[in-house]
């Protein structure tokens, strides 16, 4: 035990004397959370639009006013002819154009229909989609409001977004970020820490000592369990205080699940380090094999359901996917273990699998 303690103390010295490690450990969670929370957002405000209105009657004015007063759009320019639409898009001045047909009010009065075109800039498909939907929504609302007396019956859908009423992107990103950062810190840092010993040649000395391989591995990993756990707490606290992401479920359960996930990532890190011999390779493997899938294939940013089946298969072997499901369920829906036991078991299975594989692969000797 004394030996083990000395080993862990040494490991903490390594971490606290390397400012880069410290920066990654404690700077990154905060910076990433701020970046994801503030910069990457699906909500759109103040999109610039152009309006071509050859009618200039009461109805088109009303519609334009509704659109511009919604808070989503600001008028960049009024167009004088159809040809200007293209140039307005081309120079990137606007991301949406509204085109009324001539004699709009008159046609509506006489025929009951009038045409209006919404043109989006689909070089950014997601934004274009959202903007077009916003604009259509505003127009339908207007239509309902002027027709409410005339039409005998109508259906008014009332949409309510459960668990994230304001559709805040942060609610998505906090769980995703936790999955990503804990994976990064745990897997990358431990795989680096172990391969560093190999690279420096100190692993030779450790192997020639009476320390058992298990003691070496656990001694190396122990500090990171602790530090990753602190990171998990930092993310939760920041998410809660700065972005008001709620934790509806049990905090104890949430922390316990985080702990399990950390152990899973650490055992993966150990596995990587037993298979690689240099820090550079370990880093490449960790980044390419862990980070990218965690971001892309875990349902963090892109929904799994929309992927081609072959990628979906990959998604199901990505541990972060399950962790994200678990914490979303606990944080946003307030669920208990009864709802996430399957995912928990899967994570546990991953952990045991990686641990067994790495113990099997760990060399009591060189090469």
Partner 1 sequence: MDPVAVSVKNLTLRYKTTLAIDDISFEVAGGELFGFIGPDGAGKTSLFRILTTLLVPTQGACQVEGLDVVKDYRQIRNICGYMPGKFSLYQDLTVEENLSFFATIFGTTIAENYDLIKDIYAQIEPFKKRKAGKLSGGMKQKLALSCALIHKPQILFLDEPTTGVDAVSRREFWEMLKRLRDGGITILVSTPYMDEAEKCDRVALMQAGKIMKINTPAEIIKDYPHALLSVRAGDVYPLMKELMKYPGTHRADTFGQSVHLSFKKGEIQPAELQKHLSTKGHTNVEIEEITASIEDCFMDLMTIN
The residues that touch partner 1, with contacts defined as CB under 8 A, are 2-3, 6-7, 10, 13-14, 17-18, 200-202, 204-211, 364-367
Q: In angstroms, give the least distance from the CB of 209 to partner 1.
A: 5
Q: In angstroms, give the least distance from the CB of 266 to partner 1.
A: 22
Is the CB of 20 or the CB of 90 nearer to partner 1? 20
Q: In angstroms, give the least distance from the CB of 18 to partner 1.
A: 7
Q: In angstroms, give the least distance from the CB of 7 to partner 1.
A: 7
The rounded distance, in Å, linking the Cα atoms of 28 and 217 is: 25
Is the CB of 18 or the CB of 86 nearer to partner 1? 18
Cβ proximity of 96 and 49 under 8 Å? yes
Strands (E) in the chain, as ranges, are 47-52, 73-79, 96-100, 116-120
N-to-C CA span, the chain:
28
Q: In angstroms, give the least distance from the CB of 363 to partner 1.
A: 9
Cβ proximity of 324 and 301 under 8 Å? no
Is the CB of 22 or the CB of 317 nearer to partner 1? 22
DSSP assignments along 76-144, one per residue: EEEESSTHHHHHHHHTTS-SEEEEEPTTHHHHHHHHS---EEEEE-TTSHHHHHHHHHHHHHHHHHHHH
The rounded distance, in Å, linking the Cα atoms of 180 and 300 is: 9
Q: In angstroms, give the least distance from the CB of 204 to partner 1.
A: 5
10 Å CB burial of residue 105 (0-12, 13-18, 19+) is: middle
Is the CB of 14 or the CB of 48 nearer to partner 1? 14
Is the CB of 159 or the CB of 367 nearer to partner 1? 367
Is the CB of 224 or the CB of 261 nearer to partner 1? 224
Q: In angstroms, give the least distance from the CB of 360 to partner 1.
A: 17
Is the CB of 7 or the CB of 100 nearer to partner 1? 7
* Alpha-carbon distances, residue 28 vs 180, 210, 220 (angstroms): 11, 37, 21
CA-nearest of 76, 70, 195 to 140 is 70
């Amino acid at each position: 035990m004394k030996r083990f303690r000395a080993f862990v103390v040494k490991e903490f010295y390594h971490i606290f004397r390397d400012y880069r490690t410290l920066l990654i450990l404690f700077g990154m969670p905060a910076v990433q959370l701020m970046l994801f929370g503030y910069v990457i957002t699906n909500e759109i405000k103040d999109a610039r639009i152009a309006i071509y209105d050859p009618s200039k009657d009461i109805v088109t004015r009303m519609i334009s006013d509704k659109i511009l007063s919604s808070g989503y759009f600001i008028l960049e320019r009024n167009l004088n002819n159809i040809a200007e639409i293209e140039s307005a898009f081309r120079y990137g001045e606007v991301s949406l154009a509204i085109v009324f047909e001539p004699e709009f009010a008159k046609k509506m009065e006489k025929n009951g229909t009038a045409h209006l075109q919404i043109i989006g800039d689909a070089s950014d498909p997601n934004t274009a989609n959202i903007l077009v939907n916003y604009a259509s929504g505003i127009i339908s609302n207007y239509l309902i409001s002027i027709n409410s007396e005339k039409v005998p019956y109508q259906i008014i859908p009332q949409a309510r977004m459960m668990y994230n009423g304001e559709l805040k992107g942060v609610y998505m990103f906090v769980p995703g970020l936790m999955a990503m950062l804990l994976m990064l810190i745990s897997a990358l840092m431990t795989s680096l820490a172990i391969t560093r010993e190999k690279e420096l040649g100190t692993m030779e000395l450790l192997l020639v000592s009476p320390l058992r391989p298990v003691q070496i591995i656990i001694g190396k990993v122990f500090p990171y369990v602790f530090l990753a756990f602190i990171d998990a707490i930092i993310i939760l606290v920041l998410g809660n205080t700065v972005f008001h992401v709620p934790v509806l479920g049990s905090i104890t359960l949430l922390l316990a699940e985080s702990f399990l996930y950390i152990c899973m990532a650490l055992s993966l890190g150990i596995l990587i380090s037993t298979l690689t011999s240099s820090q550079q390779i370990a880093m490449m493997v960790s980044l390419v094999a862990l980070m990218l899938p965690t971001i892309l294939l875990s349902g963090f940013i892109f929904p799994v359901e929309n992927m081609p089946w072959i990628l979906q298969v990959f998604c199901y072997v990505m541990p972060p996917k399950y962790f994200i499901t678990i914490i979303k369920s606990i944080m946003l829906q307030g669920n208990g273990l009864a709802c996430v036991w399957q995912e928990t078991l899967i994570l546990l299975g991953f952990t045991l699998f990686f641990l067994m594989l790495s113990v099997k692969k760990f060399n009591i000797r060189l090469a």
